[in-house]
Structure 1
């Protein structure tokens, strides 16, 4: 049975991703900033007959929390087959380039970029022990510089001076990570779940959590001949899935 660790998985897209992978026979460590919320999410999944799941407390914006989560998971498994870096924040809107505060930038980058780095670096030793290791970085097409500059993009007027740069930075980190791991079995892909109706965006999204989670789960389960180092947005490009950087 393959093992997956998903950050920010107590609700919304992360939770649904856990549910879908459990149904595919994976074992899940469900990361949650608040352990009580994580445990409640686990109980909900178990009530559906999905038993191979355990809550792990992790606040990816804090070094000690990530270290503690690594120690806790290390007591339970020697291998993580799939790492899904899902946790993230928006920083609140609107985000004006002239009015957003330095603290907004610090808070969002602490989670959306540095937090992803913390988790990846802390768990990479367990990932490398897998026979078919996968890393999925949950990002957004809002991090695409090409699309942000394209007036024909349907989200062209949806600008966020803090959130968008954080996702652009995460995308670049992921590219470098994939490059450094190119001679290993580890496949690293960036996945945009799409504009999904969740509390993350005040339920303004148009897509479902089921569709969003399926996009993430797809790249968690790719075969050995699957891609690596790709930016995937099936909402933007339903045919090839690839999104411009």
Structure 2
């Protein structure tokens, strides 16, 4: 059992997560495909099994539920004794497409920027409850799973954590220069401070003060969640130097997350995560990959 490599992929019943499971399984790694919905997760595993991939099993996981996370930990302890790879893929966008056809027809795909925020009225909406849920899943849920699985990862000879991030996590999208500097200053940043920033954002979001206090104005909660995840990735890499922990932007992929408006296939979108999951022992940690290329956490300009 010690020679068998084991990977957990969250939010993996479809899209990029499903494809990451498929490609890692083809590398001979035992895959635990997780999803919140049991029937959809089982269906996804059956689909892989039917294609000839037998080294994938399902385990239910709701990353917002501590009990569900602990159930997964106990399962891995009893079945595999350790964990080699964790891919944190589960996420939500925090937005609603009001008129997806008009959004596509208007060429708004490449114009979801704060400069264009007024033109997006009637195309996308960002209700507070969805924004709060987005942060609870994308940041707090990912953090909950990672923290719980660190002890099992430390038992691996080559542990890897891949956090699926986004170009929208780039600090380029933040308008508060002091906050940008603070989130980028990994020498002094703490998890407690990241939490304070998120709670401050949510307070401003709730009372419609995003513009006044220089937060991102489009896909706001999603951008904050991914910027927080990037910062957490760097902190964890410093804390656990025996684990390679990196963030990956998969690109703009055709999935349900993008309402099928992406420009890359899921096969293409999974490439960066597979590369990060299979990094050699002397590979980078605390880094950000734009697809398969190393990139900065804060850019002067940031294309989607």
Structure-2-length-normalised TM-score: 0.72
* Aligned equivalent of 1:143: 169
Question: Which of 237, 243, 256 lines up with 1:186 in the alignment?
Answer: 243
Within-5 A mapping of 1:162-177: 162-177=221-236
**Is 2:138 aligned against 1:112?**
yes
Deviation, structure 1 residue 65? 1.4
Contact 1:147 1:244 in 2 (8 A): no
Contact 1:13–1:213, Cα closer than 8 Å, also in 2: yes
How many aligned positions are there?
231
Q: Does 1:209 align with 2:266?
A: yes
Whole-angstrom CA distance in 1 between matches of 2:41 and 2:59 = 7
* CA RMSD between the two structures: 2.1
- Corresponding residue for 1:71? 74
How many angstroms apart in 1 are the aligned matches of 2:135 and 2:89? 14
In 2, Cα distance between equivalents of 1:26 and 1:86: 17
> After superposition, where does 1:117-128 map in structure 2 within 5 Å?
117-128=143-154
The answer for the alignment partner of 1:242 in structure 2 is: 295
Compare the two structures and name the one with the higher helix fraction: 2
Alpha-carbon offset, residue 48 of structure 1: 1.3
Structure 1 position 233 matched with structure 2 position 290: yes
Matched residue, 1:45 = 48
Q: Distance in 2 between matches of 1:70 and 1:206?
A: 36
Please tell me whether residue 131 in structure 1 is matched to residue 157 in structure 2.
yes
CA contact 1:6–1:18 (8 Å) conserved in 2 = yes
- 1:133-157 C-alpha deviation (Å, 9 max, x unpaired): 00000010111012667xxxxxxx9
Segments of structure 1 that go 5 or more residues without pairing to the other structure are: 150-156
Per the alignment, residue 25 of structure 1 pairs with 28
Corresponding residue SS for 1:75:
helix
Cross-structure match for 1:4: 7
Q: Does structure 1 retain, via aligned residues, the 8 Å contact 2:95–2:126? A: no
| Unpaired stretches in structure 2, ≥5 consecutive residues | 98-111, 119-124, 176-215, 299-304
The 2-side partners of 1:104 and 1:35 are apart by: 23
